[in-house]
Amino acid sequence: MSLGFHRRDDGSRRITNRQIDFVGWILFMLSATSFIVASVGSFWAMAGSIFFFVACVVFIIPFFRKDGTK
């Protein structure tokens, strides 16, 4: 997994779409964790928050798999 910045020919850095996606999913996971903490004491809110967190984890799995694996 390569999430480092890439450099253009002129030496400037650019962020890839993969990096932006990864940061977005990390922020979604932080959001889900916050919802879990905020929903303590409410069964349905807690259940929804946990499902949201699990969904975020499932979507971030491809970032840790090698390219070409199925």
pLDDT of residue 42: 96
Q: Is residue 69 part of a domain?
A: no
pLDDT value of residue 66: 81
For the whole model, what pTM was predicted?
0.71
Q: Which two tokens stand for residue 59?
A: 């979507």
Domains: count for the chain: 1
Band (pLDDT 50/70/90 cuts) for residue 70 is low
3-class secondary structure, 53: helix
pLDDT tens, 13-27?
788 899 999 999 999
Residue 57, domain member (yes or no): yes
What's the domain range around 11? 6-64
Judge residue 62's burial from the number of C-beta atoms within 10 Å of its C-beta, 0-12 exposed, 13-18 middle, 19 or more buried: middle
For the record, the structure tokens of 35 come out as: 């919802």
Domain membership of residue 70 (yes or no) is: no
Residue 3's pLDDT is 59
Strand runs labelled E in the chain: 6-7, 13-14
For 48-55, what is the mean pLDDT?
Answer: 96
